[in-house]
Amino acid sequence: MEILIKNGRVIDPKNNINEKLDIVIKDGIISRIGKNLKEEGRNIINADKMIATPGFIDIHVHLREPGFEYKETIETGTMAAAAGGFTTVACMPNTKPVVHSKEIVKYIKEKSKRTGYVNVLIIGSITKGLEGKSISDINEMVEEGIVAISDDGKTPMDNEIMIKAFKEAKKYNIPLISHCEEHNLSNGGSINLGRASERTGIKGIPSAAEYLIVKRDIELCEATLSKLHVAHVSTKESVELIRRGKLKGLNLTCEVAPHHFILTDDIISLKDTYTKVNPPLRTSKDVEAIIEGIFDGTIDIIATDHAPHDEDSKKVEYSRAAFGISGLETAFSLSYTELVLNRNLPIDRLVEMLTVKPAEIIGIDKGSIEIGESADITIVDLNREYTIDSRQFYSKGKNTPFNGRKVKGKVIYTIVGGKVIYEKGEIRCL
Ligand code: DOR
């Protein structure tokens, strides 16, 4: 059965399109794009007063499988993705076992095929067991299809190991995604070092814990002429270092998570561990620098760092609580409300940061609406206002500091490979 998406405003930044158009999907593929296309017995999706964009792509999620299925599974994490408008996600390797060999890549691939609601890409670890001591089996993981390497959640502190890793990534033309944290400086801290850590007595993490490694990795990227993608940028200094690195013409990109351009450490209280995330929430000076980086293109994309946790890992003393925010189901509305409505970022730029740009970074042929391409499409009602309530999440992780926040821009349909996976709040069975 063919699907006709009618009367939506199609926003496809890759092809410079922002106009009211109809889209026909046949056998999972986009077969026509045009004005006033006939209904001709097709299944109609009425997208009037809505936007239709390429399916969102999130290159930084934690699906927790294998090993932490009590926090999330590929099934629940990809349902959350679909509810958030994401048709492709790339999952981080800090699972149990760690994704450091072809067997584990194969396991996730197979499980995603059976239980995943959206496209799942896999990121292999840089070092075995994320221990920072010896390089993972990158060659065989690449053969199984990993799209990048990262020790996300940790930073290999040994420079020699990092040089080897950059060279390996270069050999296979994949990016090294760096979680930038100088562990000797973060050293058991839980929140940003500064006014909030003084006010609450919670141990702080200095900005330098991030930007010293951003600096190191940009230098190693330059020395090895390889691709570096900096994960979850949170400090003003990091933005400036990346800006300068880009001016030099390095193969350098970076991402930001919504919580790092919306929240500051002013909201932190000892009671609310949902605000605990790594890197930590910073100051308004950092938020403003990040916003500037989004506007001038220093920051390439938005990635959620979707980090679902079980309640037992969060309902403990602040210093012992797990780091992380469940992000897939709030990313679009938070970003739209903050960046487009509050700060006047053009909507096309927001869509670009969620579609074609992440696709380019991990080297996949997605992120646009083109005839002959797989129909991964997200339809959003920009006028729909709602209040975030994590009890409604498909994700097992209810841990968000955004509960109770009023936002605008609701995902209404998520279409993956021509199949409507999510429609008006409901996930369709596989
Ligand atoms: O807050 C975080 N949680 N930051 C990370 O880098 C890892 C993540 C997790 O795995 O929970």
Res. 270 pLDDT band, cuts 50 70 90: very high
For residue 430, pLDDT beyond 80: no
pLDDT of residue 429: 79
Res. 128 pLDDT band, cuts 50 70 90: very high
Look over the chain and give the mean of its residue pLDDT values, rounded to a whole number.
98
For residue 394, pLDDT beyond 80: yes
Res. 180 pLDDT band, cuts 50 70 90: very high
pLDDT of residue 344: 98
The CA 236 to ligand 1 mean position distance, Å, reads 20
Planar angle of CA 61, 65, 162, nearest 5 degrees:
60
Q: Which amino acids are annotated as binding site for Zn(2+), given as ranges?
A: 60, 62, 152, 179, 232, 305
Q: Which amino acids are annotated as binding site, given as ranges?
A: 60, 62-64, 94, 152, 179, 232, 278, 305, 309, 323-324
pTM comes to 0.98
Residue 94 Cβ contacting ligand 1 at under 6 Å: yes
Mutate to test the pocket of ligand 1, among 277, 328, 395 (most ligand atoms within 8 A of CB): 277
Q: Which residues contact 114 (CB under 8 A, 6 or more apart)?
A: none
pLDDT above 90 covers a percentage of the chain that reads: 98
The mean pLDDT value for 359-369 works out to: 98
pLDDT above 70 covers a percentage of the chain that reads: 100
- How do residues 294-334 score in pLDDT, each as one tens digit? 999 999 999 999 999 999 999 999 999 999 999 999 999 99
DSSP state of 96: S
Beta strands in 327-427 (DSSP E): 377-387, 406-416, 419-423, 426-427
Q: Which strand (E) or helix (H) includes residue 52?
A: strand 51-54
Give the separation between CA 288 and CA 298, rounded to whole angstroms: 13
Mutate to test the pocket of ligand 1, among 61, 94, 180 (most ligand atoms within 8 A of CB): 94
Q: What is the DSSP string of 116-139?
A: -SSEEEEEE-SBGGG-SSSB--HH
Q: Could you say which of 286, 305, 376, 381 is catalytic?
A: 305
C-beta separation of 6 from 47 below 8 A: yes
Give the separation between CA 356 and CA 427, rounded to whole angstroms: 25
The mean pLDDT value for 40-46 works out to: 93
Among residues 157, 77, 141, 71, the alpha carbon closest in space to that of 103 is found at: 141
For residue 390, pLDDT beyond 80: yes
Residue 152 Cβ contacting ligand 1 at under 6 Å: yes
The mean pLDDT value for 414-424 works out to: 98
For residue 127, pLDDT beyond 90: yes
| 305 given a catalytic annotation | yes
Q: Whose CA is nearest to atom 9 of ligand 1?
A: 307
Three-state DSSP at 153 gives coil
Q: What is the DSSP string of 54-76?
A: EPEEEEEE---TTT-TTT--HHH
| Token reading at 391 | 């009890």
pLDDT of residue 182: 98
For residue 122, pLDDT beyond 80: yes
- How do residues 211-242 score in pLDDT, each as one tens digit? 999 999 999 999 999 999 999 999 999 999 99
Give the separation between CA 170 and CA 219, rounded to whole angstroms: 15
Atom of ligand 1 nearest to the CA of 94: 10
Beta strands in 218-355 (DSSP E): 228-230, 252-256, 301-302
C-beta separation of 214 from 227 below 8 A: no
Mutate to test the pocket of ligand 1, among 98, 323, 326 (most ligand atoms within 8 A of CB): 323
Res. 427 pLDDT band, cuts 50 70 90: very high
Per CATH, the homologous superfamily of domain 55-362 is Metal-dependent hydrolases (3.20.20.140)
Atom of ligand 1 nearest to the CA of 232: 6
Give the separation between CA 168 and CA 32, rounded to whole angstroms: 41
- How do residues 54-101 score in pLDDT, each as one tens digit? 999 999 999 999 999 999 999 999 999 999 999 999 999 999 999 999
pLDDT of residue 1: 79
Second CATH level (architecture) for the domain 2-52+377-384+405-427: Roll (2.30)
Residue 179 Cβ contacting ligand 1 at under 6 Å: yes
| Per-domain boundaries in the chain | 2-52+377-384+405-427, 55-362
